[in-house]
Structure 1
Amino acid sequence: MTKMRSALWLPIFDELAEPAVVARLAVEAEEAGWHGLFVWDHLRWQAPVREVADPWITLTAVACATEHLRIGPMITPLARRRPAKVARETTTLDRLSGGRLTLGVGLGSDRFGNELSKTGESLDDRQRGRMLDESLEILTAAWSGEPVHHHGEHYTVDDVEFLPRPVQRPGVPVWVAGFPGNRKPMQRAARHDGFFPVNLEHPDQVAEIAATIAELRDDPTAPYDIAVALPTGTDPAPYAAAGATWWLTDVSPGDTLDQVRGLLRDGPV
């Protein structure tokens, strides 16, 4: 069975919209033996949620308060962020945390908060997919420390160096989100460091994902992560046996701070 690590995965809304609160939770999680803490990345959410925190500033607070937890946004919709700015943010946060950042990426959705339509972002999944791929090209080049020469459909970065480099080499690990059975996200994920399947229904899907990505990767023997979000009370063992390497707590936007603390105290896998 694959050794599985455990992370709190938090919607930073309402009670959790205070970075200092999340930082304290992170300290408690580290002391309790958790391996990571990841946060949602949204501008807004549907009612009754009203308060929303910025993931990067929240993660900065977590990085300063902890020593060992792996941290990151899970997931950030890169199509609504400028890749050159993300290159600076990711490098700086990776250095601040001592090389503990994982960048979760995906297309994003307008479904739960209309955050794309209300801010003038593209609603075309294919266009956002092309923007995501282009952004990942820029980030990979930026993390190398070499001058970036990118002239694409959506972005231009003309002879810019992004120094200093991240602590992690060759760069910050990237996990790509996508629905099981959708080949395009798995093709994208195979070029990077991990896959985060959304809306899993059973462990057999993890085995199928692991087999497909192994076929697509240049080196299927190199370390690779498959992270699964499982509801409270779900036995993670069958998912680990199928190839999952991380279990993320499926905390809902309506869960209270006390509920999250209870989950934290129950401990990791």
Structure 2
Amino acid sequence: MNRLRSALWLPLFDDLADPRVVARLAAEAEEAGWDGCFVWDHLCLQAPPVRQVADPWIALTAIATATERLRLGPMVSPLARRRPAKVARETATLDRLSNGRLTLGVGLGSDRFGGELSKTGEQIDDRRRGQMLDESLAILAAAWSGEPVRHRGEHYTVDDITFLPRPTQRPGVPVWAAGFPGNLKPIRRAARLDGFFPVGLEHPDRLAEVVATLAELRPGASGPYEIAVGLPFDVDPLPYAAAGATWWMPEFDPGVPLDTVRGVLRDGPASPGGD
């Protein structure tokens, strides 16, 4: 069985829209033996009574300064609505601030939950956003190298900019891609990266199928590869660890009360399993 790490996965709404509260939760989680603290990345959400929303990068900065060991990051950030050159600066700066603890979760995002793409004039076509995501990832990898970036693509231009300082981690910040297990395209994208975050996973047998597909797509690959699963906090994560999961994140509903989060936090991380 894989060693199963545990992370809080915080929706930054209402009670959790205050970065000071989130930072205190992260510090408490670190003291209680948790391994990570990841946050949602949304501008708005049509899920009354949610009214307040925090910025993920500011919240992650607060987490980084309040902790010493926890892995942290957005889970996941829809890169198609962010400028990749700006993300390159943000990720490098945050990785250095956290002494190399940043993981960048990425995905297509969706207009279904709050109209946050259409309401801000962003691209709503899934195929086009997928192209933008892949182009952004190419720019980020080039930026993290510390070499001059000369990119002229269909969606973005970066004309001879060197992004220094580099992130602490080498060759760059680990990237995990999200996607539905039944869709092969995001799995193929994830196979080129450092980890996969399956969305809507309903059974550990389904995860085992995904892990097998990833193994086929990564022949001869070396180094760590992460499989992160979000599950209701009353679901036993250990069968998923047996199927290949390396990270467990208990799911919280948007607008979750702070006391509920603290209760899960105090119950402690999952049993780590074998190495």
Matches of 1:265 and 1:26 in 2, distance apart? 12
- Between stretches 96-105 and 215-224, larger displacement belongs to 215-224
Aligned to 2:39: 39
Q: Deviations over 1:64-114 (max 9, x none)?
A: 010000000000000000000000000000000000000000000111111
**Equivalent-residue separation in structure 2 for 1:109 and 1:96 (angstroms):** 30
Unaligned runs of 5+ residues in structure 2 are 271-275
2:60 corresponds to 1:59? yes
| SS class of match (2:27) | helix
Distance 2:85 2:217 in 1: 28
The letter for the 2-side match of 1:159 is: D
Match of 2:255 in 1: 254
The one-letter code sitting in structure 1 at the alignment partner of 2:195 is G
Aligned to 1:129: 130
Alignment of 1:209-248 (within 5 A): 209-217=210-218, 219-248=220-249
Q: Which is further off, 43-52 or 128-137? A: 43-52
1:11 matched to 2:11: yes
Q: Report the Cα distance in structure 2 between the residues aligned to 1:205 and 1:148, rounded to whole angstroms.
A: 40
Contact persistence 2:106–2:176 (CA under 8 A): yes
CA deviations on 1:30-71 (whole Å, 9 max, x unpaired) are 000000000000000112211000000000000001000000
Shift of 1:220: 3.3
**SS of alignment partner, residue 113 of structure 1:** coil
Q: Distance in 2 between matches of 1:224 and 1:209?
A: 13
Which secondary structure does the structure 2 equivalent of 1:187 belong to? Answer: helix
Read off the aligned partner of 2:228 and give its amino acid letter: A
SS of the residue corresponding to residue 172 of structure 1 reads: coil
Tell me the residue number matched to 1:263.
264
How far is 1:221 from its partner? Answer: 4.0
Shift of 1:13: 0.3
TM-score normalised to the size of structure 1? 0.99
Q: 1 CA distance for matches of 2:192 and 2:233?
A: 31
Counterpart-to-counterpart distance in 1, 2:135 and 2:262: 39
CA distance, structure 2, for counterparts of residue 268 and residue 35 of structure 1: 8
Q: Name the counterpart of 1:95.
A: 96
Q: Residues 69-218 of structure 1 correspond to what in structure 2 (within 5 A)?
A: 69-217=70-218
Give the distance between the partners of 2:25 and 2:98, measured in 1 at CA: 17
Give unpaired runs (5+ residues) of structure 1.
none
Per the TM alignment, residue 222 of structure 1 is displaced from its structure 2 partner at its CA by 2.6
Using the alignment, how far apart are the partners of 1:151 and 1:254 within structure 2? Answer: 41
Looking at structure 1, the residues matched to 65 and 185 of structure 2 have their Cα atoms a distance apart, in angstroms, of 36
Summarize deviations over 1:144-192 as a string: whole Å, max 9, x none. Answer: 0011111100000011100011000000000000001211001100111
For the residue of structure 2 that corresponds to 1:8, the secondary structure is strand
- Structure 1 residue 218 displacement after superposition: 5.0
Distance 2:149 2:255 in 1: 42
Equivalent position amino acid for 1:257 in 2: L
- DSSP-derived class of the 1:114 partner: coil
The runs of at least 4 consecutive aligned structure 1 residues that moved more than 6 Å come to: none
Normalised by the size of structure 2, how large is the TM-score?
0.97
The Cα of 1:122 is off from its aligned counterpart by 1.1
Distance 1:219 1:248 in 2: 29
- The alpha-carbon deviation at position 233 of structure 1 amounts to 1.2
Instruction: Give the 3-state SS of the residue equivalent to 1:145 in structure 2.
Output: coil
Residues 139, 149 of structure 2: 8 Å contact kept: yes
